[in-house]
Amino acid sequence: MPRHSGSVDRRTFLKTTAVTGLGAALAGCSGAGGSDTVTVGMLQPFTGEVAWVGESSEHAVEIAIDEINAAGGINGKEVELVTEDSEANQQTAVSAERKLINSDGSVAILGPTSFTLPAVMNIAQEEGVPQVSPTAGTSELDEKGGEYVFRTSTSDSLGGKGMAYIADQTGHEEIAVMYVDNQGGRSFGKTVVEGFEALGGTVTAEIAVSPGKSSYRSELNKAFADDPSFVSLTSGTQTGKTIIDQWHEQDLGGVWGLSNDMQTGEFASKMGAKLEGSYAIGPLAGGDRYQTFADKYRDKTDEDPMPFTAEAYDAMNIVALAAAAAGENSPGAIAENLIDVSAPDGSTVSNYEDGLGALEDGNSVDYEGASGPVNFDTKGNVRSPFGQYTSDGGSWTLDAEIAAEDLTF
């Protein structure tokens, strides 16, 4: 039962299912939303350049909630989703985070992105409410997570190395690096620089850009001054489109290596032949578990999954399984069990219903989801593989898998 507030249009609709099985037999605490429901919050951008992150993540979480409620809910409580728009703004996100916890009674919060997670994670820790982000790669979280802060997306410490690895493996010896000058952009872009130099390559320029400008010709001239054959770009889609359009107009040469924000079918289609032969890094879209999720996502939206949607589906499932394993829906109990239900020594499951069945049989569970193994370490991080994608002039094609073990340089 999603409820939306903030900058998003209010729309309320009920997802009703019978409450049966083990979940109905267990007593638990509930968040705000009524005695028969438990509230899970979502904090994501629903407006602005990265609004697609919130919209697509919400679809994925709704798929998981439908399945959870159909399996009997969480400890006898039907799940209600309440969303807040972070606007990719730290001040807005702080207010929204407090509302989700103090007014809505969320037992867990999904999100936000790298733009705003550093500003709100202390609130989750202080309030004792688990925060599980499917969309935050910021390396700032590498050593600051755990206990109450987790993520199902892989750190930029690996993602940036993945971009450097793509440049190296495709034969480029000199690259330039451009990134938007915010938390997410710096986190990813600087890791590309460090990674490529560690591989023995040369970084000819490192350019931080302000998002949302009408012209990047000056920045492009600096980036391409030494004729790099490959330029890594970390930005949102609007800024990325402006940069690539002006690069094409100036006929500066080389190919792009784009961050996962631009590894979407819509962006590839919009840019068309301008991107042909360029690369992008993104979550690995492969394997039976991913394909099962992708089919569900297409059935719901008539669109292909976007980056981070599999991670969002997994985040909701693992929160629900942690509550089921605890036998109660309190935030503290959920947080205490997140690592346990992702540990590799349990029965492997990839959805809530199967996990609930394993718990009912007295077994521990190892949730391996649509995005890959979700094995949280003590700092709440995962090490999932990446995909290397190439543009054919209208879409992205997966042409290589990058394992975490490939990125130990």
Where residue 20 falls among pLDDT bands split at 50, 70, 90? very low
Q: What is the predicted pLDDT for the residue at 332?
A: 98
Q: Cα(96)–Cα(87) distance, rounded to whole angstroms?
A: 10
Residue 6 has pLDDT above 70, yes or no: no
Q: Do 99 and 161 sit in the same domain of this protein? A: no
With 50 as the cut, is the pLDDT of residue 30 above it? Answer: no
Whether residue 275 lies inside any domain: the answer is: yes
Q: Compute the average pLDDT of residues 55-77.
A: 98
| Domain that includes residue 276, residue range | 157-282+385-407
Q: Is residue 292 part of a domain?
A: no
Query: Is residue 346 in some structural domain?
Result: yes
Report if residue 297 sits inside a domain: no
Kindly state whether residue 33 falls inside one of the protein's structural domains: yes
- 116-125: string of b/e by CB count within 10 Å (b at 16+)? bbbbbbebbb
Does the residue 299 lie in any domain?
A: no
Place 16 in a pLDDT band, splitting at 50, 70 and 90: very low
Same domain (yes/no): 193, 143: no
Does one domain contain both 331 and 399?
no
Q: Is the model's pLDDT at 135 over the cut of 50? A: yes
Residue 207 in this model has a pLDDT that exceeds 80: yes
Q: By the 8 A CB rule, do 283 and 389 touch?
A: no
- Is the model's pLDDT at 39 over the cut of 80? yes
Rounded mean pLDDT, 278-297: 92
Separation between Cα atoms, residue 54 and residue 318, nearest integer Å: 19
State the chain's mean pLDDT as an integer. Answer: 92
Note the pLDDT of residue 5.
54
Looking at 37-51, 109-123, 276-290, 311-325, which range is the least confident one?
276-290
Kindly list the strands in the beta sheet with 396-402, ordered across the sheet, starting from the edge strand earlier in the chain.
202-209, 174-180, 230-234, 255-258, 279-283, 386-391, 396-402
Amino acid 283: pLDDT: 87
What average pLDDT score do residues 235-253 get? 97
Q: Are residues 239 and 334 in the same domain?
A: no
Residue 254 has pLDDT above 90, yes or no: yes
Looking up residue 367, the CATH number of its domain turns out to be: 3.40.50.2300
Structural domain contains residue 46: yes
User: By percentage, how much of the chain surpasses pLDDT 70?
Assistant: 92
Same domain, 275 and 162: yes
> Which residues touch 258 (CB under 8 Å, ≥6 apart)?
232, 233, 240, 278, 279, 280, 281
Tens digits of residue pLDDT in 355-370: 999 999 999 999 999 9
Q: Is the pTM of this model over 0.85?
A: yes
Q: Are residues 87 and 186 in the same domain?
A: no
Number of domains in the chain: 2
In tens, the pLDDT along 293-328 reads 999 999 999 999 999 999 999 999 999 999 999 999
- Residue 238: is its pLDDT beyond 80? yes
**Same domain, yes or no: 204 and 269:** yes
Are residues 125 and 176 located together in one domain of the fold? no
Over 70: is that where the pLDDT of 329 sits? yes
Whether pLDDT at 18 is above 80? no
- The pLDDT, as a whole number, for residue 11 is 30
Are residue 118 and residue 22 in the same domain, yes or no? Answer: yes
Query: Are 108 and 122 members of one domain?
Result: yes
Q: Are 28 and 130 members of one domain? A: yes
95-123 pLDDT per residue, tens: 999 999 999 999 999 999 999 999 999 99
Report yes or no on 293 lying in a domain: no
Under the banding of pLDDT at 50, 70 and 90, the label for residue 4 is: low
- pLDDT at position 287: 85
As a whole number, mean pLDDT of residues 53-80 equals 98
Band the pLDDT of 49: cuts 50, 70, 90: confident
Nearest to 113 by CA among 8, 52, 17, 43: 43
> Residue 286: what pLDDT?
73
- Asked if 293 contacts 313 with a C-beta cutoff of 8 angstroms, the reply is yes
User: Which region among 6-10, 49-53, 217-221 has the lowest average model confidence (pLDDT)?
Assistant: 6-10
* Together in a domain, 42 and 145: yes
3-state secondary structure the chain: CCEECCCCCCCCCCCCCCCCHHHHHCCCCCCCCCCCEEEEEEEECCCCCCHHHHHHHHHHHHHHHHHHHHCCCECCEEEEEEEEECCCCHHHHHHHHHHHHHHCCCCCEECCECCCHHHHHHHHHHHCCCEEECECCCHHHCCCCECCEEECCCCHHHHHHHHHHHHHHCCCCEEEEEEECCHHHHHHHHHHHHHHHHCCCEEEEEEEECCCCCCCHHHHHHHCCCCCCEEEEECCHHHHHHHHHHHHHHCCCCEEEECHHHCCHHHHHHHHHHHCCCEEEEECCCCHHHHHHHHHHHHHHCCCCCCCHHHHHHHHHHHHHHHHHHCCCCHHHHHHHCCHHHCCCCEEECCHHHHHHHHHCCCCEEEEECCEECCCCCCCCCCCCEEEEEECCCCEEEEEEECHHHHCC
